């Protein structure tokens, strides 16, 4: 019962994001006088239709489709919609096509549309949480070096504000054999890398060490990351040339630790961020107000959604579901010391707390 209500809540959110008027658990009298109960009775510009939400362990079969069609016909609804958390059998899909006025939606379909609407692609620019001047002063007050713990050794000289393109991604990430968990992440369209939290007040672009590594090498690394593995194991599984390429690409990046010589055994250093570290920046983007027009200059994407998808699927063995584009404000503050030497500090302009964004691409 609780699972059914929770799924109905999700379907209700889906209808709400579409801006539809509806009645939940509606009891409707048919033309011949008996009462039909439907999960949702929905009204739009074309008239009335019904929505049935099914949270079953097995895929929905044709009898559910037939009943939904019958209920819709009996109250003169122009169509029936069936939403299933577990998918549909082939006979159910074939029957819906034959009937013509029955639409089938999976959980993935509903979630994709909800996420798409929540980000409001017609308003893809994130509202800054501070002004350029306040960003400069906050960096100067908190991050500038001090002399004798009191006097400022650096001052804020200038600030550059810009919108950078990010990809909002929904994907399934493996957590065990044939087991996946649905996750969300942000990926930079300037580097093609996912964005993660690396501690208090720090954002960074994760997996940079794997960005230029060949896909088959990344896949082998993903399998053995954080584990001990001998040369003979790799050679037996993938061949001598793959072992050579694995060492050539990973060793210079500091991702290989040699443990023993006979037999030659190494540990592949695990650099994958936790799912929580990837999802936390997403929450800040979701909660931030959006606007239609940018306030500052906008950087153009350097990596396409397709290339980001390929990298995530190779590096995380993930199944990417949806990718939406959103633009986030970044403030690049120039700090100058008493000798004229300077450095730049980038901060995430859509987060209220002072959060350093470790990237060189703005």
**pLDDT 10s per residue in the chain (362 long)?**
556 688 999 999 888 877 788 999 999 988 888 899 999 999 887 889 999 999 998 999 999 999 999 999 999 999 999 999 999 999 999 999 999 899 999 998 888 878 767 666 677 999 999 999 999 999 998 888 876 655 668 889 999 999 999 999 988 888 777 788 889 999 999 999 999 998 889 999 999 899 889 888 988 998 899 999 999 999 999 999 999 999 999 999 999 999 999 899 999 999 999 889 999 999 999 889 999 899 999 999 998 888 888 888 888 888 888 888 999 999 999 999 888 899 999 999 999 999 999 987 77
Asked whether residue 162 falls in the same domain as residue 295, the answer is yes
Residue 23 inside a domain? The answer is: yes
Asked whether residue 335 falls in the same domain as residue 281, the answer is yes
Residue 313 inside a domain? The answer is: no
**Domain closes at, from 74, 92, 117:** 117
pLDDT at 2: 59
Asked whether residue 125 falls in the same domain as residue 62, the answer is no
pLDDT at 240: 94
Asked whether residue 165 falls in the same domain as residue 288, the answer is yes
pLDDT at 351: 94
User: Are the C-beta atoms of residues 79 and 102 closer than 8 Å to each other?
Assistant: yes
pLDDT at 3: 62
User: Are the C-beta atoms of residues 211 and 253 closer than 8 Å to each other?
Assistant: no
Can you give the residue range of the structural domain that contains 21? 2-117
Asked whether residue 161 falls in the same domain as residue 58, the answer is no
Q: Which two tokens stand for residue 310?
A: 């390929």
Asked whether residue 256 falls in the same domain as residue 291, the answer is no
Residue 231 inside a domain? The answer is: yes
pLDDT at 320: 86
- Looking at the chain, which runs of residues are DSSP E strands? 21-29, 35-44, 47-54, 80-84, 102-106, 125-126, 146-147, 151-152, 154-176, 179-188, 194-197, 202-205, 228-230, 256-260, 265-268, 290-291, 297-298, 319-337, 342-348, 356-358
d(CA 208, CA 211): 5
Residue 88 inside a domain? The answer is: yes
Asked whether residue 131 falls in the same domain as residue 227, the answer is no
* Cα dihedral sign, 181-185-189-195: negative
Q: Is the pTM of this model over 0.85?
A: no
d(CA 119, CA 122): 9
pLDDT at 150: 57
Q: Which residue has the tokens 């510009």?
A: 45
- Of residues 201, 192, 199, 160, the one with CA closest to residue 313: 192
Residue 305 inside a domain? The answer is: no
**Domain closes at, from 93, 117, 141:** 117
Asked whether residue 328 falls in the same domain as residue 200, the answer is yes
Residue 154 inside a domain? The answer is: yes
Asked whether residue 339 falls in the same domain as residue 261, the answer is no
d(CA 325, CA 187): 10
pLDDT at 19: 75
Asked whether residue 237 falls in the same domain as residue 290, the answer is no
CATH of the domain at 61: 3.40.1350.10
pLDDT at 149: 59
Q: Domain count for the chain, please give it.
A: 3
Residue 311 inside a domain? The answer is: no
Residue 183 inside a domain? The answer is: no
Asked whether residue 77 falls in the same domain as residue 138, the answer is no
Asked whether residue 44 falls in the same domain as residue 134, the answer is no
pLDDT at 152: 67
CATH of the domain at 236: 1.10.10
């Amino acid at each position: 019962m609780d699972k059914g209500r929770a799924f109905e809540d999700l379907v209700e959110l889906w209808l709400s994001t579409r801006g539809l008027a509806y009645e939940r658990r509606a009891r409707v009298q048919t033309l011949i006088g008996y009462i039909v109960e439907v999960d949702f009775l929905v009204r739009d510009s074309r008239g009335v239709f019904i929505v049935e939400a099914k949270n079953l362990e097995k895929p929905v079969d044709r009898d559910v489709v037939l009943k939904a069609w019958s209920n819709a016909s009996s109250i003169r609804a122009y169509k029936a919609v069936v939403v299933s958390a577990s998918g549909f059998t082939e006979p159910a899909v074939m029957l819906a096509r034959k009937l013509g006025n029955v639409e089938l939606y999976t959980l993935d379909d509903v979630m994709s549309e909800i996420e798409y609407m929540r980000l409001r692609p017609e308003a893809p620019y994130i509202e800054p949480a501070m002004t350029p001047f306040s960003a400069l002063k906050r960096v100067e007050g908190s991050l500038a070096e001090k002399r004798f713990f009191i006097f400022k050794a650096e001052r804020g000289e200038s600030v550059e504000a810009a919108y950078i393109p990010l990809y909002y991604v929904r994907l399934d990430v493996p957590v065990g054999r044939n087991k996946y968990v649905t996750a969300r992440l942000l990926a930079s369209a300037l580097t093609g890398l996912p964005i993660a939290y690396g501690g208090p007040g720090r954002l960074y672009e994760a997996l940079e060490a794997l960005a230029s590594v060949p896909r088959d090498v990344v896949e082998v690394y993903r399998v053995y990351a954080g584990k001990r593995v001998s040369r003979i194991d790799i050679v037996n599984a993938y061949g001598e040339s793959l072992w050579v390429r694995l060492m050539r690409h990973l060793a210079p990046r500091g991702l290989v630790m040699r443990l023993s010589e006979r037999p030659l055994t190494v540990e592949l250093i695990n650099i994958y961020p936790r799912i929580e570290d990837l999802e936390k920046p997403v929450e800040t983007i979701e909660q931030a107000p959006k606007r239609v027009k940018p306030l500052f200059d906008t950087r153009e994407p350097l990596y396409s959604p397709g290339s980001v998808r390929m990298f995530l699927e190779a590096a995380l063995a993930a199944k990417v579901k949806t990718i939406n584009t959103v633009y986030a404000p970044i403030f690049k503050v120039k700090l100058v010391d008493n000798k004229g030497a300077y450095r730049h500090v980038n901060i995430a302009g859509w987060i209220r707390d002072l959060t350093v964004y470790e990237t060189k691409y703005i």
